[in-house]
Structure 1
Amino acid sequence: MEETICKAIKERKIIKFYYKGYLRIVEPYAYGVHKSTYNKILRAFQIAGGSSSGEVVDWKLFVVDEISLLTITNEQFSVRPEYTLNDSAMGQIICQVLLG
């Protein structure tokens, strides 16, 4: 799954997956290791689908081990102006959207 996530990040492609019982449609921005739990995580901006919190459209962190049926769409996304490099939740970044 790591290869697929990094490919989507590099190509700025929207991805779809299931997480905690809901289909999520997201723009993936950074993939790495959480600085305190050491879980592999994905920082993404969810644009559609469902959410247990009720907050569908928002920045979210997803634990990669809890993601299933991930697919890359053909849709590209533009980098959101509020995105910043080097996600502070990550102790190690494996891949991330680069600016410029």
Structure 2
Amino acid sequence: MLNTITQAINNREEISFTYSGLERVAQPCAVGVSTAGNNVLRCFQTQGRHVTPGHEWDLCTISKISNLKLTGVIFNSNPRGYKPGDKGMQRIHAQL
């Protein structure tokens, strides 16, 4: 799964997945290890439902992601509010 997410970040390709029981489509921005020691994905959600309405940025624990797929949709611009060097990660494997 880490390889697919890293590929999506490097190619700026949207991904679809299930998280917290909700189908989502998102722009992956960074993947790494959280301050709690978990592999995580920082992404900007473009479609699907949210646990917290109006909340577009997510920090997802990778072990809780299922049905991960590359969508083939390329995004050229960084998502609104994106900042490199994610403070929620102690180590970053890949980022925009």
TM-score when normalising by structure 1: 0.89
| Structure 1: stretches of 5+ with no match in the other structure | none
Determine helix, strand or coil for the equivalent of 2:85: coil
Find out whether 1:10 has 2:10 as its counterpart.
yes
Determine helix, strand or coil for the equivalent of 2:82: coil
Q: Distance in 2 between matches of 1:55 and 1:31?
A: 23
Find out whether 1:29 has 2:29 as its counterpart.
yes
**1:1-100 equivalent positions in 2, closer than 5 A:** 1-35=1-35, 37-55=36-54, 58-77=56-75, 78-97=77-96
Partner AA of 1:19 in structure 2: Y
Q: Distance in 2 between matches of 1:20 and 1:81?
A: 24
TM-score when normalising by structure 2: 0.93
Change (3 A) 1:23 1:79: same
Runs of 4+, deviation exceeding 3 Å: none
Q: What is the CA RMSD across the aligned residues, in angstroms?
A: 1.1
Change (3 A) 1:81 1:45: closer
| Structure 2: stretches of 5+ with no match in the other structure | none
Determine helix, strand or coil for the equivalent of 1:53: coil
| 1:92 Cα deviation after fit | 0.3
Matched pairs, number: 95
Check conservation: 2:27, 2:79, Cα contact below 8 A: no
